[in-house]
Amino acid sequence: MVPLRLRSRQWIVDEYGRIIMGEGRKQILETIEKTGSINQTAKIMKMSYKGAWGKIKATEKYLKANIVHADRKEGTRLTKEGKELLKKYSLLKKECVEEDNRIFSKIFDKEEN
């Protein structure tokens, strides 16, 4: 059998299925941390400033907390809540991937025996 790999994605959604946190928002937050700029983040991610800001605002609205602090002089940075969200989502993703791979191996390695 040809070697197979599993790819899976995790999204945190609200009661209507609207994305609150996923891989794209994770990348937005990580890039803001690196660049200190939503504008630079949008350029790096090849999206509009309005699109990046809209995703941040949608997440903030649902969580009822600011996850990004923008200041014209100091630049943009993640708030304590933003850092915590990024940390928790990264841990969730890591553990989900590990468990998915364990289940995948259990099922597909079984077929080879």
Q: Which helix (H) or strand (E) holds 19?
A: strand 19-21
Compute the distance between CA of residue 90 and CA of residue 110 in angstroms, rounded to an integer: 30
Compute the distance between CA of residue 105 and CA of residue 99 in angstroms, rounded to an integer: 10
Low-confidence ranges of the chain (pLDDT < 50): 113
Output the pLDDT for position 3: 82
Output the pLDDT for position 109: 82
* Domain regions of the chain by residue span: 13-112
Class of domain 13-112: mainly alpha
Output the pLDDT for position 1: 67
Output the pLDDT for position 113: 45
Partners of 75 in the beta sheet? 71
